[in-house]
Amino acid sequence: MAKENIEQNKNEDDFKLMVSKMNHRLEKIHLGGGEAKIAKQHKKGKLTARERIEYLLDEGKPHYEIGAFAGYEMYEEYGGAPAGGVVVVVGYVRGRQCIVVANDATVKAGAWFPITGKKNLRAQEIAMENKLPIIYLVDSAGVFLPMQDEIFPDKEHFGRIFRNNAVMSSKGIIQIAAIMGSCVAGGAYLPIMSDEALIVEGTGSIYLAGPYLVKAAIGETIDNETLGGATTQSEISGVVDYKMKDDKTCLDTIKDLVDKIGSFDKAGFNREKPVPPKFKAEELFQVFPVERTKQYDTVDILKRIVDDSKITQYKAGYGKTIICAYARIDGWSVGIVANHRKVVKSAKGEMQFGGVIYSDSADKATRFIMVCNQKKIPLIFLHDVSGFMVGSRSEHGGIIKDGAKMVNAVSNSTVPKISIVMGNSYGAGNYAMCGKAYDPRFIVSWPTARLAVMGGSQAAKTLLQIQTKTMENRGETISEAEKEELLKKITDRYDNQTTPYYAASRLWVDAIINPVDTRNWISMAIEAANNAPIEKFNVGAIQT
């Protein structure tokens, strides 16, 4: 017992260190372009993007940020782009859940990098899927010209944003835009394609071409304010609806506008009075192993997340490497699909590896997903999966067929899906457990997460064999020492690409979160999803 306590304490220390490193990185990201740029913003009489959001959101109410690590360790040749140069937060304005998108003018004057466009599109996707009002706080110099070919013309590029503006308006999803700084060229369409637009006097400006370009194009000499300042666009052109004297007045007016929005139909997910878990969330640091090869009981994780630490397992004695269970999280009824990380014995007496999906566990999960759809119960996926079982026995047993059924069920599920990547999320296991490609309403990871085609050790050895064989085919020889050096180089590169930070920088996950916040994240995600009624149930097409 003493040995077990020592291991738990060490694991807790290691885990908390990982969380501390994550928070340290976030603190640096929150500074945007740095303290000097923040001071320059204040000197102009402007709040920063994060200050604007803080002032806008209801004090004391929970909120969460989407894509804080977007662009992390990317674009370093240009000085970097903390948070992708745009801050996206889901929170409450006058009691109504909204999504807020604010350009960070301290990062390259709010210019759009490729990841900025992807992050804005993700924010709009969240608004559309969950029918959340979206508020744009615009302060941007437009497309980052050195990378214009990677952001301008494609389906997932800059122009898609304006198409989404139009689609959201047609669906009655409220869009409010505030021009609080520069708003130029194609970017000018975003606020004006929103339902209502505000502009801040003295700092806000909006036009298709600035004074320099106007001079070059048609020879006209004109100043910034006369061309597209607050007075021009609110009193002469009528392009914007409200002229505001400063940032805070503008944000106060947005609060008043949101306050007047009527009620819409809800999805109607079941919710009762929340009951806290019997076990402390902080104990997750002890029961979830930092060392990814260690086994653990996934039920211990669930007991620290769900209401009253109570779960009702579906087919508990069958397909044991996946746990399917009903529970409540902060009062919300949920269906949980979680990889079980203990070595278990099947009903046939066969030993099954924890974290691996076998035919029976895939079959169980498929049926459970279908039942949750019939009952209109949101699905929560907890990832710690190495993939599907391989080998002749699995192939002869139809693992591909059973895996395909599970992927089919996940793909066609119409109830909201929320994914938490706790540990490994490898290969087709990522797909079956509702990875990013399978439209989870929200997907977040813990600092312990790993996302890749396969584990680092297996991948590195496979890549080494391929590279060694290629060299031998060219008549080149390679010593054992050179093989070891090459293996280390491949392993280091591959391991870096499997970290949650690599995934979050590319928006494969929406956020990296502290595990103790998992319960709150899931609750707010379901609340967001509850704003969008479910229109159809089509999982009946799955072959069983």
| Ramachandran category for residue 327: left, alpha or beta (phi over 0 → left; psi -120 to 50 → alpha) | beta
Q: What does the pLDDT read at residue 396?
A: 52
- For the record, the structure tokens of 287 come out as 């029961």
CA distance 414 to 374: 10
Average pLDDT score over the chain = 91
Does residue 376 contact residue 269 with C-beta atoms inside 8 Å?
yes
State whether the Cα torsion 387-391-394-397 is positive or negative. positive
Read off the pLDDT band of 543 (50, 70, 90): very low
* Residue 116: closest CA among 82, 139, 146, 89: 82
Average pLDDT over residues 452-466: 74
- For the record, the structure tokens of 438 come out as 């399978």
Which residues on neighbouring strands pair with residue 323, listed in sequence order? 338
pLDDT over threshold 80, residue 224: yes
Average pLDDT over residues 452-476: 76
Cβ contacts of 484 within 8 Å, gap of 6 or more: none
Read off the pLDDT band of 148 (50, 70, 90): confident
Higher pLDDT, 448 or 7: 448
Read off the pLDDT band of 359 (50, 70, 90): very high
Does residue 337 contact residue 379 with C-beta atoms inside 8 Å?
yes
CA distance 239 to 16: 51
pLDDT over threshold 80, residue 221: yes
Q: Could you identify the residue written with the tokens 């210019």?
A: 111
Which residues on neighbouring strands pair with residue 64, listed in sequence order? 90
pLDDT over threshold 50, residue 541: no
> Per mean pLDDT, which range of 79-83, 219-223, 509-513 is the poorest?
219-223
Pairing of strands 196-200, 242-244: parallel
* Residue 443: closest CA among 529, 489, 386, 381: 381
Q: What does the pLDDT read at residue 200?
A: 97
Mean pLDDT is highest, among 13-27, 208-222, 337-351, for 13-27
| Amino acid, res. 95 | G
| Amino acid, res. 544 | T
CA distance 367 to 327: 17
Q: What is the percent of the chain where pLDDT is above 90?
A: 71
Average pLDDT over residues 253-282: 96
Read off the pLDDT band of 544 (50, 70, 90): very low
Q: What does the pLDDT read at residue 1?
A: 52
| Amino acid, res. 102 | A
* Residue 97: closest CA among 123, 71, 63: 63
* Residue 369: closest CA among 326, 401, 328, 330: 326
pLDDT over threshold 90, residue 236: yes
Higher pLDDT, 398 or 229: 229
pLDDT over threshold 60, residue 191: yes
Q: What does the pLDDT read at residue 70?
A: 98
CA distance 138 to 125: 18
Q: What does the pLDDT read at residue 542?
A: 46
> Per mean pLDDT, which range of 2-16, 297-311, 380-394, 451-465 is the poorest?
451-465
DSSP for 88-104, written as a single string: EEEEEETTEEEEEEEE-
Query: pLDDT tens digit string along 195-205?
Result: 999 999 999 99
3-state DSSP helix/strand/coil % of the chain, to nearest 5: 45, 20, 35
Q: What does the pLDDT read at residue 283?
A: 97
Q: Where are the beta strands (DSSP E) in 316-416?
A: 322-329, 332-339, 344-345, 351-352, 356-357, 379-385, 387-388
